[in-house]
Amino acid sequence: MVERSWVKKAGICLSCLVFVVALGAGCVSEKKIREDREAAQAAMKAAQDAAARAEAAAERAEASANSADAAAASAEAAAKRAEAAAARAEKAAKKCERAFEKGLRK
């Protein structure tokens, strides 16, 4: 059996120590990467949920705007009908007034 010098033994031990430290650092960094990936996935899920809620709110707002437009159109139509009825009432009042005046003259 060949005797190794203490320098070679120290070199081998140092190499083993560096290997163990590098392996441990690799495991730690892999764990950190996994945690970062999970955090990124959670953030992405939260962003997707927020986007879905915003889209639903936009759809509700659009439906409300459409409903308000319909209500405004209905109110405008009712105002036009009321104006026409007022014009007819005014015409009828003038007709009654003429008939009354005609009756007074007789």
Read off the pLDDT of residues 4-35 as tens digits, 9 standing for 90 and up. 676 777 777 777 777 777 766 666 667 777 88
Kindly list the distances between the CA atom of residue 92 and the CA atoms of 4, 16, 38, 79, in Å, as whole numbers in the listed order.
128, 112, 80, 20
Q: How far is CA 97 from CA 15, 83, 93, 105, in A?
A: 120, 21, 6, 12
Give residue 17's pLDDT.
Answer: 74
